[in-house]
Homo-oligomer: A and B are copies of this chain.
Amino acid sequence: MCERPLIAVISGSLQPDGLTHRIARAVETIAADRLNIRHVPIGHLPLYNPALEADGASVPVWTTFREAVAPADGVLFVTPEYNRSVPAALKNAVDVGSRPYGASVFSSKPAGIISQSPGALGGFGANHHLRQSLVFLDMPAMQQPEMYLGHSSALFGEEGELVEGQGKTLLETFVAAFAVWVDRHPVRQG
């Protein structure tokens, strides 16, 4: 019998009841049989500044964040778009996890990206800016299905539940593909 792979989910919004986190939780439900989801918080991380780790100093919450991501078999980013790019909080998590040089916790982990917006565009700008960072981070990025969830508030019903419809179907297809992607990209050891 086979263990489900551990997936670190990093949500680019700091609003726990916002659409981004609701999508992240919906993914957890959809993926329950296949993926072991770990939501990793990022809102409390100080802005990345290499000087804070100079001369052997450490920033405990950065360390804790890295330790939460390190054992994962893959990373799923779920994000809104701010100013046509990734929110600062998400970029900060990327910067913190990627340092110090040579000790990135992201290296070689397979990645999936879901972007969302209340408007029509579905966070396209955030989605692809993040992809450019993933190149440097050496994270094999799943290409298809792309997931730009526009009009994202329509995904949920009055009780906050994911409603039946195209959005739910897209997420199910995405999760199934991501499980295969993670399986095909085992993390490089040591």
Contact = CB atoms under 8 A, between A and B. Distances in A.
Contacts of A135: 84, 128, 131, 141, 143-144, 146
Contacts of A129: 85, 129, 132
Contact of A47 (B89, B122, B138): B89
Given A50-B15, A92-B47, A138 B144 contact: yes
Interface centre among A49, A98, A137 (most CB of B within 10 A): A49
A136 B84 contact: yes
A33 B49 CA distance: 33
Tell me the number of copies of this protein: 4
A108 to B, nearest CB: 9
A47 B91 CA distance: 11
Interface string A139-155: 11101101010100000
A176 interface: no
Contacts of A45: 47
A94 B81 CA distance: 13
A119 to B, nearest CB: 10
A20 B48 CA distance: 15
Contacts of A83: 91, 94-95, 98, 133, 136-137
A133 B84 contact: yes
A124 interface: yes
A48 B134 CA distance: 23
20 contacts: A14-B48, A15-B49, A47-B47, A48-B82, A48-B87, A83-B136, A83-B137, A85-B91, A85-B129, A85-B132, A92-B92, A128-B135, A129-B129, A129-B132, A131-B132, A135-B143, A137-B143, A138-B143, A139-B143, A184-B184
Given A85-B91, A89-B92, A131-B132, 4 more contacts: A48-B89, A85-B85, A85-B86, A92-B92
